[in-house]
Amino acid sequence: MGGAVGLGAVLAACGDSDSKDSGSTGSKSADAGPWSFKDDRGQTAEAKSVPKNIVAFTGVAAALHDYGVEVKAVFGPTKAANGKADVQAGDLDISKVEILGNVWGEFNVEKYAALGPDLLVTAMWEKDALWYVPDASKDKILKLVPSVALWAAQTTIPQAIQRHEDLAASLGADVKAKAATDAKARFEKAAARLRAAAKSKPNLKVMIGSASQDLFYVSLAKMSADTLYFQELGVKFVEPKVDAAGFFESLSWENVDKYGADIIMMDNRSSALQPDALTSKPTWTQLPAVKAGQVIPRTTEPIYSYDKCAPILEDLAKAIEDAKKTA
């Protein structure tokens, strides 16, 4: 997986789907030990006691935060250009965490070592490749403390949430707390609503897009946890002719109208151009979905807690309920 993946706001290369093994063990008591957790690489992280000084990829840190587990430092998109929290930071108080790196390829190893971390946690889009842990320094980073990697691809939203919940529980979270169970109930209700919306409009087609200055990327739904799950709930997606990695097709702006779509979901990450930056591209403004005002944000890298994923389902359900056939 190259740096272009992080830069281009497109998706990473795929991996095996052995994430079905959700075996984990861990003490729920923060004072007890020993601690262990089997991650989605099939590797078991171990410590003499429950890790306290946790360093995590921003999105994973945000999910752990929703379960009451706080991290010491983060890496990955955390602070936006305006100084506010990046979309991937969720409800993290970014003034209270050390930021070891904010963009692709950036990770301050010296600062990381000085924190005295107990555990490193990140996502995984490609088997054994740790998201936002730079290839150039990964050996130094990984030899310091145990690491945990959780699938962000080759899985679905419910499976990914379960794995993040497993990890949070092993780190001392009360996953049966009212806030957590209420969020799960809301998520299940939202899933039922999205299924009903998709069933009510079987001819509606959704395109998954991501924009850069020179190219428009159309993603294949089954390759990502969010859109694969939407597909399972009955949402119909444009199926692009993907490249060798299997995630997306790159189109020039002249050919952005290659596929007909009634709704366009646009990558909401800070590394992607947002719809309001595309008004100068005539081929974009002429798309039927754009003219109909049926362009919605896509949370390309969801924060895997029920609290953060329920609104994603609700927003897509509403977009489908309100949408008119345009293509």
The predicted structure's pLDDT at residue 244: 85
**Residue 260 pLDDT greater than 90, yes or no:** yes
Res 75 pLDDT > 80: yes
pLDDT band of residue 327 (cuts 50, 70, 90) is low
* Predicted pLDDT of residue 31: 52
Least confident residue range of 29-43, 76-90, 178-192: 29-43
The secondary structure of residue 79, as a DSSP letter, is B
- So what's the pLDDT on residue 32? 63
pLDDT at 34 over 50: yes
Mean pLDDT, residues 28-56 taken together: 88
Q: Is the pLDDT of residue 20 over 50?
A: no
**pLDDT at residue 245, as a whole number:** 84
The runs of H, that is alpha helices, within 51-156 are 58-66, 109-114, 138-142
Ramachandran region, residue 176 (left: φ > 0; alpha: ψ -120 to 50; beta: rest): alpha
Q: Give me the pLDDT at residue 3, please.
A: 34
Tell me the pLDDT tens digit for each residue of 275-316.
Answer: 999 999 999 999 999 999 999 999 999 999 999 999 999 999
Residue where the block lists tokens 């360093």? 55
Q: Percent of the chain having pLDDT more than 70?
A: 90
Band (pLDDT 50/70/90 cuts) for residue 99 is very high
Question: By the 8 A CB rule, do 304 and 161 touch?
Answer: yes
On average, the pLDDT of the chain sits at: 90
C-beta of residue 89 within 8 angstroms of C-beta of residue 73: no
| Number of Cβ within a 10 Å radius of residue 182 | 13
pLDDT digits (tens, 9 = 90+) for 150-176: 999 989 999 999 999 999 999 999 999
Read off the pLDDT of each residue in 189-207 and give the average, rounded to a whole number: 97
Compute φ and ψ for 192, nearest 5 degrees: -65, -40
